[in-house]
Chain A
Amino acid sequence: MTPDTLSALALSIRVALVATLLNAVVGIPLAYVLARRRFRGRGLVDLLVTLPLVLPPTVTGYYLIVLLGRRGWLGGPLYTLTGWSITFTWYAAVVAATVMALPLLVRTARAAIESVDRDLERAAFTLGRPEWRTAIEVTLPLARNGILAGLVLAFARALGEFGATLMLAGNIPGRTTTVPLAIYTAVQTGESGDALVLVAALTALSCVVLVAAGRLGARAT
């Protein structure tokens, strides 16, 4: 394996792990709120979270540039203040992977939470548990397998992210070139040996992830 191949593998795994953690932090509360609360703008939140699932990744990538680029709505002020911009850094790959993976976690976790027996939650309520404790002690543990399956899917999606990553993070060997981007470059430059190694690695990892998700999904029902 060449150093670029190795660094792509290491970067991909790091990006996917961080993106999955971010997904857990943001996505699980979001899934809970969407499943159990009725509030104004709920439909809009649901729509925004789900959009990356149906939009072409390049469109999501474009929105991320508009938002986070050096002249973006958020990225512009940040750059003026600090002289730092997220584009072309590995953080950009994390953001792209997180946004692209979020719908998979939220939809899976939400379905799992919705299928939790509400009588059990009510019982916890009547025993004096406030809602947040009920959620943490009753609802989420009961929906655990569905949530874990969602996290596994999110990890797989983050690992495979290509389009939005290319747009926001670029394709800089050793810095932002994740495995899917390295495969693309290797094929472009005719280095089919490198491509093959990475293709095999990603296929194997994806199989492991799918089997794991399948087991968790089966236990959830």
Chain B
Amino acid sequence: MFRALVVVTIVLASGGAIAAQEMTLSVAISMKEATEELGRAFMQSRPGVTLRYNFGSSGELQKQIEAGAPVDVFISAAQRQMDELQQKGLIVLATRRNFSRNVLTVVKSADSTLDVSKPADLLDPRVRRIVIGNPRTVPVGQYSEECLRTLGLWERLQPKLVLAENVRQALDYVSRGEVDAGFVYTTDAAVRATRVKEAFRPGEDTYRPVVYPAAVVKDSRQPALARAFVELLVSADGRAVLTRLGFQPPP
């Protein structure tokens, strides 16, 4: 009986053998659909290659890489997280590319009857809760904070703020109606177009441009493959997919 248990344990434990060529992409979750679609094309043209995705907030993914997570490509929603990895020598500088740009929007639930059509409307007492990404780790939260500070609303909105762990959680809070408004990217709003609608779009001069960088991680065990994926992002094929999903070209 005990021997059988040991055998079963060993068989199960050795099950996760690594495929011939496996590559892990740590991707800012706002890029989920775009990366998955490009990833399918990438795998189709390279038989035997398997991509694994690790989605999360850029800050969370950055910390994982700093802690030595086995990641090949890092795709961030802000320069800051990539800059910090670069300073620590954790990415291959020559492979770093800015490949896309995004825009902030404020959304409300699709059936919301609240009139939120300009920033000052967020002060209305009927708007009880507003979700933003946690500015400490979530780029969309950092951009939202900048935007609200520029508009002079940051301090006054503090009691209403609910912090999300990443932009999709913020989107989810809005679509479930748990909050009255939320700051996300236009591309996220498009992913849940049936459940959220745009309330207003803050001026693009109120926050620094949302520019996505990608780079190969220094400790990648598939550097050539990783580099090919980063190049795919800036290629014409990559651009076409990104444009279709609502992303803008980098400045």
Contacts and interface: CB of A to CB of B under 8 A. Distances in A.
A178 interface: no
Interface stretch (B59-67, B211-219, B241-249): B59-67
B128 A170 contact: no
A203 B84 CA distance: 32
A170 B177 CA distance: 14
B46 interface: no
Contacts of B136: 185, 188-189
A187 interface: yes
Nearest to B164: A170
Nearest to A184: B165
A85 B128 CA distance: 10
Contacts of B178: 65, 69-71, 85, 87-88
A189 B63 CA distance: 7
Interface residues of B, number: 18
A181 to B, nearest CB: 10
A48 B177 CA distance: 27
B137 A173 contact: no
B129 interface: yes
| B interface: dominant SS | loop
Contact of A172 (B66, B128, B162): B162
A190 interface: yes
A22 to B, nearest CB: 23
A165 B3 CA distance: 41
Interface string A177-206: 000000001011110000000000000000
B66 A171 contact: no
A83 interface: yes
B128 A188 contact: no
Interface string B120-138: 0000000011000010110
Contact of B177 (A71, A83, A172): A71
B177 A188 contact: no
Nearest to A168: B178
Contacts of A69: 176-178
B63 A173 contact: no
A71 B176 CA distance: 7
A111 B63 CA distance: 46
Given A69-B176, A188-B60, A189-B63, A170 B162 contact: yes
A39 B66 CA distance: 57
Given A69-B178, A70-B178, A83-B128, A189 B163 contact: no
A171 B128 contact: no
Nearest to A186: B136
Contact of A171 (B129, B165, B176, B177): B165
Given A83-B128, A188-B137, 6 more contacts: A65-B176, A69-B176, A70-B177, A170-B163, A188-B59, A190-B66
16 contacts: A70-B176, A71-B176, A71-B178, A83-B128, A85-B178, A88-B179, A171-B134, A172-B161, A172-B162, A172-B163, A185-B137, A188-B59, A188-B63, A188-B136, A189-B59, A189-B137
Across the A-B interface, give the 6 residue pairs with the lowest CB-CB distance, nearest first.
A189-B136, A71-B177, A88-B162, A70-B177, A70-B178, A87-B178
